[in-house]
Amino acid sequence: MDDVQEMRSPGTLHGASPSYTLGKRRTDHNLLIPEAELKGLGAELHYTQRGGDITFHGPHQAILYPIISLRSIGIGARNYVETLERSMIEFASVYGVKARAGHKGETGVWVGDRKIGAIGVRISSGITSHGLAFNIDPDLKYFEHIVPCGIADKEVTSLRRETDDMLLPSEEVIHEQLVSCLAKAFSYDDVVWKEDPSFILDNQEEYKD
């Protein structure tokens, strides 16, 4: 196939430091505590040139950045985002979690009124970057210090919380399952999967969470 099909994982399953990122709109008001207090939380704040509002990245999230030529596969931006949503919804169903795409004014993937997966993409010359972040078992207390994605009065949830006492496999297995769901959604038989911890902050120009 001539289309680019690569999956980048910024490596936030275990080792990444907790961080908040703000996009180019600089919506600092959605950070609910003084920046000086972040160090006490063990977190950092990063200003980026991406789109979208404030979001959180940390350990025990599965983050995938597909790099795909949309022109080669003949789909547009909206269809691409909807395919990312479907892949996370399909993945959640593996564990009996009924997820849905966001309603009007909402982004990402939800379980009821609780957000479990974020989507943000950049498309340049028909090539995608960024992608999705799915909460496996992050420390949800970090989300209490922001208005996630600029949407007030909505909870954030995780696969661990939604599955109660279900015994989950290792996060590496879960991550591979998510990659498989994404590849299936795009009808790919094979993908290149690279782990790159630096990718999360170096390439966020248009991350719309």
Quote the pTM value: 0.83
CA 117 to chain centroid, in Å, comes to: 6
112-148 residue pLDDT tens = 999 999 887 788 899 887 788 899 999 999 999 988 7
Residue 208 domain flag: no
pLDDT tens digit sequence for 6-38:
655 554 444 468 988 777 678 889 899 999 999
Is the Cβ–Cβ distance between 130 and 122 less than 8 Å? yes
Mean predicted confidence (pLDDT) in 173-191 = 87
Do 96 and 106 form a contact (C-beta atoms < 8 A)?
A: no
Residue 54 falls inside a structural domain = yes
26 is annotated as contributing to ligand binding: no
- Catalytic annotation, residues: 149
Whether 209 is covered by a domain: the verdict is no
Domain range enclosing 46? 5-202
- Let me know if residue 24 belongs to a domain: yes
Residue-wise pLDDT tens digits, 83-102 = 999 999 999 999 999 999 99
pLDDT at 2: 47
In three-state secondary structure terms, 21 is: strand
CB 62 within 8 A of CB 178: yes
In-domain check, residue 207 = no
Q: Is 64 annotated as a binding residue?
A: no
151 is annotated as contributing to ligand binding: no
The annotation status of 54 as a binding-site residue, yes or no, is yes
